Amino acid sequence: MPTGRHSVPQLQQVQLKRIILCDSRSPVHAPDKCGENISPYVEACALAQFYMRKKGTMEEHKGIHIDQDIEHNKRSHKRRIFGMWMFALFLLLVMAGLTGHGLLSDKKMTDPVTGETLETQKYIRYESPVDLIVHANTSASEAGDSLFDISLPSSYLENFTIESILPQPEITESSNDRMVFRFRISKGASQQLVIFHMRADKMLRHVTGEMILESKGKFFLSHYIYP
């Protein structure tokens, strides 16, 4: 029971009237008086009674009205601890490379036939940079041909913005749903390093594609882009 006018919560008059007089669950339910003006003190006392009867909505503890629920607080504490562990686990996975550079993400592929290599990341983030580092074997280029091709599917490139390619390709052309980058190579060079600096444009998708080199080396690219 409320002990005085000041111990009763401040609530909207309209809401009070509706609850204490019109609501059949109210301890002072009075349909005949519904909408009638009664003193704010009576209204407030009735509301306090009404709330206290509803388990857990308001507790009177040694004279103070308080919305306290110890069991809820204990459960909430357990959930918070669980949440903290989840955050810690997430950070560990991030450090391991689940969302970018790291053990889980960094991939180095080698073509078994040509011995060429490609380095990239499996997990990347939206708008963050991603590199394709190709160590191409140019000794297999046709005799007298000082150009070397690397091609990527257009459907793969649609998900990225190419910020730069090192060295710059001599020619870039589109053929059969693939983008072909043609590089000039110095005579007698057996190895060529090519770096594609890209940035992911789309998010929440799994992007796949096959990089084909002129030397017939093939690399299957697979990235997951986080938001």
Partner 1 sequence: MIRPIVIYLLLLLIFRVSGKRTMTDTTPFDMVLLLIISETVQEALIDDDHSMTSAAVLIITLVMTDVLISYLKRSKKIERMIEGTALIIVEDGKPIADRLKRERIDEHDIIEAARETHGLERIDQIKFAVLEKNGQITIIPMKKK
Binding site for partner 1 (CB under 8 A): 56-57, 61-62, 64, 66-70, 72-74, 76-77, 79-80, 83-84, 87, 127, 227
Return the number of the residue (13 or 57) whose C-beta is nearest partner 1. Answer: 57
Residue 32 beta carbon to partner 1: minimum distance, rounded to whole angstroms: 28
Residue 44 beta carbon to partner 1: minimum distance, rounded to whole angstroms: 19
- 201 within 8 A of 161, measured Cβ to Cβ: yes
Residue 66 beta carbon to partner 1: minimum distance, rounded to whole angstroms: 5
Rounded (10°) CA dihedral 178, 192, 116, 163: -50
Return the number of the residue (70 or 143) whose C-beta is nearest partner 1. Answer: 70
Report the distance separating Cα 226 and Cα 223, nearest Å. Answer: 10
Sign, CA torsion 201/203/209/215: positive
Return the number of the residue (159 or 192) whose C-beta is nearest partner 1. Answer: 159
Comparing C-alpha atoms, which of 219, 78, 103, 64 is closest to residue 153?
A: 219
Residue 17 beta carbon to partner 1: minimum distance, rounded to whole angstroms: 18
Q: Enter the tokens of residue 76.
A: 């909430």
Return the number of the residue (70 or 103) whose C-beta is nearest partner 1. Answer: 70
